Structure 1
Amino acid sequence: MDDTSARERLEKMLADLDRSIGVLQGDPAAVREYSAADAGSDLTDADRAQAMLTVATTQRRAVVDALKRLDEGSYGSCVDCGKPVPEGRLEARPEAARCVQCQGRRERRR
């Protein structure tokens, strides 16, 4: 993927993530009356929203880091081994920082 296409996709992803994060954070000032059943349901909804916010924030960080790598001229190189990240991987995940092998090793360590 060329740098221009990568930048466009990453900037669109960043804008979408920022919009999603804003929606997920919502307005805590809105107060409603709850029945006991509603409160339990809202707790589940709040947990789900928090999980989605965590994922979106992590994804946003990866996109910002990819844009920095573009600016530095290191985009498309694995941050661990320095080998090229396969084109197909960058097409699927433009924010990818690692080649498939290094990403696999990283995930197995978790």
Structure 2
Amino acid sequence: MDVTTARERLESMLADIDRSIAVLRGDPVAVRERSAADAGADLTDADRVQAMLAVATAQRRSVVDAIKRVEEGTYGSCVDCAKPVPEGRLEARPEAARCVQCQSKRERRR
């Protein structure tokens, strides 16, 4: 993937993620009285929203880091071994920072 296309895709992804985060952080439109059961459901919903915010925030960080790599001229090179990240991987995940082998090693260590 050429750098211009990568930057466009990453910036589009960033805008989408920012919109999602804004929606997740939004306040309810209306406040109404709720029963105890509704309060329990709200807690579950709040936990789900927090989890989605955590994932969106991590994804946003990956996209911002990828944009920085584009600006630095290192986009498309693995941050661990400096080998090229396969084109197919970058097509599927433009924010990918590692080649498949290094990403697999990282995931096994977790």
Q: Same fold (TM over 0.5)?
A: yes
CA distance in 2, matches of 1:109, 1:32: 47
Q: How many aligned positions are there?
A: 110
- The residue correspondences of 1:49-88 to structure 2 (distance < 5 A) are 49-88=49-88
RMSD of aligned C-alpha atoms?
1.3
Could you tell which deviates more after superposition, 38-47 or 67-76? 38-47
CA distance in 1, matches of 2:2, 2:26: 36
Runs of 5+ consecutive residues of structure 1 not aligned to the other structure: none
CA distance in 2, matches of 1:28, 1:109: 40
- The residue correspondences of 1:1-110 to structure 2 (distance < 5 A) are 1-27=1-27, 31-110=31-110
TM-score (norm 2): 0.96
Q: CA deviation at 1:31?
A: 3.9
Runs of 5+ consecutive residues of structure 2 not aligned to the other structure: none
Counterpart residue type for residue 3 of structure 1 = V
User: Per the alignment, in what secondary structure is the counterpart of residue 91 of structure 1?
Assistant: helix
CA distance in 2, matches of 1:32, 1:77: 52
CA distance in 1, matches of 2:28, 2:35: 18
User: Per the alignment, in what secondary structure is the counterpart of residue 46 of structure 1?
Assistant: helix
Could you tell which deviates more after superposition, 34-43 or 57-66? 34-43
Task: State percent identity of aligned pairs.
Answer: 82
Q: CA deviation at 1:32?
A: 3.2
